Structure 1
Amino acid sequence: MLNLSSLLEHSAREHPERIALVLGDTRLTYAELLARSEDIAGELRRWGVCKGDTVALSCPNVPDFPAAYFAILRVGAVVVPLNVMLRPQEVAYHLTDSGAKALLCFEGTPQLPLGETGKAGFDQAPACEHFLLLDRIERTGATGAAGPAEAVATAAEDTAVILYTSGTTGRPKGAELTHRSMAMNAMVADRLFTAADDEVMLASLPLFHAFGQSAVMNMGLLRGATLVLQPRFDADEALQLMHREGVTFFAGVPTMYWALLGALATTDDREAPARLRTAVSGGAALPVEVLQRFGTAFGVGVQEGYGLSETSPVACFNPPGLPPRPGSIGRPVWGVQMKLIDDSWQDVPGDGRGEIAIRGHNVMKGYFQRPDDTASVMSDGWFRTGDIAQRDADGYYYIVDRVKDLIIRGGFNIYPRELEEVLITHPAVSMAAVVGVPHATHGEDVKAFVIPVPGTELREAELIDWCRERMAAYKYPRSVEFRDSLPLTSTGKILKRRLTAEAGGEPCST
């Protein structure tokens, strides 16, 4: 028997009076969080939700997210976390595709009316039986003298969570993750990040996403840490929370680190948070320039790792206790194997470039009810990621780019990340994204979208000439577009497919 809900139950038993969650002036102890979770579990039982059912959860980073997440697991059901930015027809698709029996929904705010959106999506998914507003579930604050009802016995290989991919190459697919893969990923993260008993973690990453779910919420609650919840990332607010709550741990994607640097440079006191001792980056490749600038400004080295929704997500990390290698995602974590392969699944030897393949306890069972899609990315337990990398003699991996971001200009392969790493070293460039655009004779050409450093002046021709001096003739961008911001996903990744569409490339529905 293994049920992922034991992460919360154990910490509530060991540290009942320790603060588990902070949101504004609200502070919940571990005992109170478990009691709230049992209230929600009781409501699910009354509606007939039981072992094997799937339950969708639409909720931002507020206390009811972990409470509902573990409540669903306690009754033996499968959690389907939903991106809170989904529109009604997208909610309906996820409910239908996952076979959800119920939708648990946070009522939300006028700016983010999740209850209204969720109900509209629920009405378009006739097979989903129940719509429950978390705000309306009675808060008893008690679990009875005998404690909460026992968690339903689930097997280690039973599906615990279905995480939907972003759908960059088609309709979103649900990755089935087991109680074992999710529990072990939290334990591996706890070991890697060397979390302490007095850890105060800023939960800015969306908890509905794999990174925030495993490496912040599950790992933090396993450790008995205090999670400071931020419903929507804002760099200025994040800095304030770090100072006010004494945050010791921050995990984020590269654009969050870039935004924190900007916030620190413009804040009145310009003091880095004194207690911050661990910074973890994942979700996308962290530009070396941003890594180095953050270390200098905040006095904390950023530990970079790598993973995907399909790998629970942590798969690779810079080993703790050793100096991080700038630009490297590290080495495979405990119990996980990695290799580089070509299009035919053949190993790529030495330092050659190849697609990362992963095998281990963290890899998904498959895409929910999509055997053909599963077969296209899995073979003999190996999962091919779609990310191109190189490996050095010590077994450290270095992301080159996404397979689907590759630009082919006149028969030459161009990796956008390589160009972005160069662009960001220009003193007037704050952030850059490179995409391929259609070209009549070369097939594709290179275009850069650039956010200038505030207060600087930069012309397109000037930047192109600068690039020409530092990049091979076939690589440098032929056009540059300056912007105040770049489109981001809800998890803070740059939406390159939207930039491609706006530049005249493939159509984009997002």
Structure 2
Amino acid sequence: MTTYNLAALLDDTADRHPDREAIVLGDTHLSYAQVQGAANQVANLLASRGIQPGDKVALSCPNLPYFTIAYYGIIKAGGTVVPLNVLLKAREVAYHLDDSDAKAYFCFQGTEDLPIGAEGHQGFEQTDTCTEFFLITADPGAETTIEGTETMGRAMADQPATFEAVATDEDDTAVILYTSGTTGQPKGAELRHRNMRDNALSGKDLFAADIDNPDTYLCVLPLFHSFGQTVIQNGAFAFGGTVVMLPRFEAKAALGLMLSESVSFFAGVPTMYWGLLGALADDDSIDVSSLAQNLRVAAAGGSALPVEVHKRFQEKFGVTILEGYGLSETSPVASFSPYGEDVRPGSIGIPIPGVEMALLEGDSWDQVEWTPEAVGEIAIKGHNVMKGYYDRPEATAEVIEDGWFRSGDLGRRDEDGWYYIVDRSKDMIIRGGYNVYPREIEEVLMTHPDVSLAAVIGVPHESHGEEIKAFVILQKGASVSGDDLVAWGKEQMANYKYPRVVEVVDELPMTSTGKILKRELS
């Protein structure tokens, strides 16, 4: 058995460079030693509350130091981290806690406009197996704002700042990331310690990361998402970098931090790059030359990067965006445009070291006969592929065979081995970098007493890439409006999920077998 605990990414750097700056958030500057000590306190807290190795611990927190501290503390204790989107409503939180068998839950208090803690606690109260709730407050010493709960800050205050990480097998589950595929409720992708470790360490090959010359990373990607978690947080800590946190992406604020903190590494989804260019166009006083001088790496993923955005960014910053590809099920990085080589706009690059990619023929596991124009479903094999979907062996068997993982995305490969996304073979919508799954939205809409049938699609949107649109047939005699259903959906679903447009129709186009023809909707 090979023992490895993912928290070694933190511990190894903290032991070598204890005083090096690890996290920056406004006026708060935390060294690696401070982050390590706080994570040790969280680990001791969990152990004192009976959390055993292998137990699942959920975490709802935006890009704040508390996320990183709780994340590594859970892993040090031998637990499995279950990061949750901070936009989830109570009913969605309860589902994730139950489905993952979470035993404890760390939840940020949020704000008046985004009451994460209130929604989280309501969800927690609807579960039977999750017994520990810790409210994360902006001020660690503050009292709880939710009656009957305790804060993470006060609960960990008296815990020792030393803890020897639990010895875990490298094939043990470190993180469960929730994703839906295309149908049904979200599924938890089980990622091993080695999946997450090797994906983070791939930064040495992908970005020429060097612990002796560490980068300063701007953290605008949500840490509860696989891209931000691996490429920014774990990638930075693996090589002693500094993570500059921005809890919510705002283009002008991001540019300000890039200047003030001399950011050398930026990763974002395409809409973020679009936003940065828009902010520059709106304010010609921004010192673009200084931005360009500091910036060493610009990485993109999450959805296809428009070629025009790629070109405009290179013209403004003098830095070529490195586009990559991956999924939650692949930890997430599977391919990337190599650093230091001429990139090919529109391409997702080549497989990262230790990973293979192939194109599959139809629904089979046979590979397509290659030509530059040949299109097939992208399959991935290597150190990054998940263990499987938690407690869903049948769903796992549908997408994994002999170590190969079916992505559900259609692609092609050129003569040099560079891959290109052609289309998505599934109905998944990508809104601003977030995956949105139509059937889940349809199921919620159909719980409304006035809705008889619903169909959800993605429609083009200038800034978000895709917007969510729903078509509904009402129950006989009902008169609810589309706007009313939009407002109702906003109360029922996370902000990135609910449809912004609902069109009430008399009928939906269908095949002879009763399947809705979504391609005829727009």
Q: Tell me the TM-score normalised to structure 1 length.
A: 0.80
Query: Could you tell me which residue of structure 1 aligns to residue 6 of structure 2?
Result: 4
Query: Could you tell me which residue of structure 2 aligns to residue 306 of structure 1?
Result: 325
CA 1:357–1:500 in 2, change beyond 3 Å: closer, same or farther?
farther
* Pair 1:293 & 2:312 matched: yes
1:379-422 Cα shifts (integer Å, max 9, x gaps) = 1111100110010111110111111259xxxxxxxxx99xxxxx
Give the deviation of 1:268 after TM superposition: 4.3
Report percent identity of matched pairs: 52
* Pair 1:160 & 2:159 matched: no
Letter in 2 for 1:294: F
User: 5 Å matches for 1:84-483?
Assistant: 84-135=86-137, 136-138=151-153, 148-166=162-180, 168-196=182-210, 197-272=213-288, 273=291, 274-342=293-361, 343-350=363-370, 351=372, 352-405=374-427, 449=460, 451=462
Q: Please give the secondary structure, in 1, of the residue aligned with 2:185.
A: coil
Structure 1 spans left out of the alignment, 5+ residues: 407-415, 418-434, 436-443, 453-492
**What is the CA–CA distance in structure 2 between the aligned matches of 1:370 and 1:502, rounded to whole Å?**
35
**What is the CA–CA distance in structure 2 between the aligned matches of 1:382 and 1:215, rounded to whole Å?**
23
Asked if the contact 1:253/1:281 (under 8 Å) is kept, the reply is yes
Give the deviation of 1:245 after TM superposition: 0.9
Q: Please give the secondary structure, in 1, of the residue aligned with 2:410.
A: strand
Give the deviation of 1:51 after TM superposition: 0.3
Give the deviation of 1:337 after TM superposition: 0.8
* Mean CA deviation greater in 158-167 or 211-220: 158-167
Give the deviation of 1:271 after TM superposition: 2.7
Letter in 1 for 2:43: A
Give the deviation of 1:170 after TM superposition: 2.3
**What is the CA–CA distance in structure 1 between the aligned matches of 2:461 and 2:91, rounded to whole Å?**
33
CA 1:389–1:268 in 2, change beyond 3 Å: closer, same or farther?
same
CA 1:360–1:206 in 2, change beyond 3 Å: closer, same or farther?
same
Q: Please give the secondary structure, in 1, of the residue aligned with 2:356.
A: strand
Give the deviation of 1:36 after TM superposition: 1.1
1:106-141 Cα shifts (integer Å, max 9, x gaps) = 222222222211110000112111111233234778
**What is the CA–CA distance in structure 1 between the aligned matches of 2:517 and 2:75, rounded to whole Å?**
39
Letter in 1 for 2:177: L
**What is the CA–CA distance in structure 1 between the aligned matches of 2:392 and 2:316, rounded to whole Å?**
46
**What is the CA–CA distance in structure 2 between the aligned matches of 1:248 and 1:70, rounded to whole Å?**
24
Corresponding pairs, count: 433
Query: Could you tell me which residue of structure 1 aligns to residue 492 of structure 2?
Result: none
CA 1:375–1:294 in 2, change beyond 3 Å: closer, same or farther?
same
**What is the CA–CA distance in structure 2 between the aligned matches of 1:375 and 1:83, rounded to whole Å?**
26
1:152-177 Cα shifts (integer Å, max 9, x gaps) = 00001000000001565321000000
Asked if the contact 2:195/2:383 (under 8 Å) is kept, the reply is yes
Q: Please give the secondary structure, in 1, of the residue aligned with 2:266.
A: strand
Cα-Cα RMSD: 2.9
Give the deviation of 1:331 after TM superposition: 0.8
Query: Could you tell me which residue of structure 2 aligns to residue 51 of structure 1?
Result: 53
Letter in 2 for 1:385: S
Q: Please give the secondary structure, in 2, of the residue aligned with 1:251.
A: strand
Letter in 2 for 1:153: A
**What is the CA–CA distance in structure 2 between the aligned matches of 1:392 and 1:494, rounded to whole Å?**
35
Give the deviation of 1:321 after TM superposition: 2.3
Give the deviation of 1:189 after TM superposition: 2.5
Query: Could you tell me which residue of structure 1 aligns to residue 452 of structure 2?
Result: none
Asked if the contact 2:198/2:384 (under 8 Å) is kept, the reply is yes
Asked if the contact 1:39/1:137 (under 8 Å) is kept, the reply is no
Asked if the contact 1:165/1:172 (under 8 Å) is kept, the reply is yes
* Mean CA deviation greater in 42-51 or 309-318: 42-51
Query: Could you tell me which residue of structure 2 aligns to residue 464 of structure 1?
Result: none
CA 1:502–1:316 in 2, change beyond 3 Å: closer, same or farther?
farther
CA 1:447–1:312 in 2, change beyond 3 Å: closer, same or farther?
closer
Give the deviation of 1:501 after TM superposition: 6.5
CA 1:498–1:403 in 2, change beyond 3 Å: closer, same or farther?
farther
CA 1:337–1:259 in 2, change beyond 3 Å: closer, same or farther?
same
CA 1:501–1:312 in 2, change beyond 3 Å: closer, same or farther?
farther
* Mean CA deviation greater in 193-202 or 361-370: 193-202
Q: Please give the secondary structure, in 2, of the residue aligned with 1:101.
A: strand
Asked if the contact 2:170/2:194 (under 8 Å) is kept, the reply is yes
**What is the CA–CA distance in structure 1 between the aligned matches of 2:316 and 2:504, rounded to whole Å?**
35
Query: Could you tell me which residue of structure 2 aligns to residue 423 of structure 1?
Result: none
**What is the CA–CA distance in structure 2 between the aligned matches of 1:501 and 1:507, rounded to whole Å?**
17
**What is the CA–CA distance in structure 1 between the aligned matches of 2:458 and 2:162, rounded to whole Å?**
57
Letter in 2 for 1:175: A
Letter in 2 for 1:83: N
**What is the CA–CA distance in structure 2 between the aligned matches of 1:304 and 1:61, rounded to whole Å?**
23
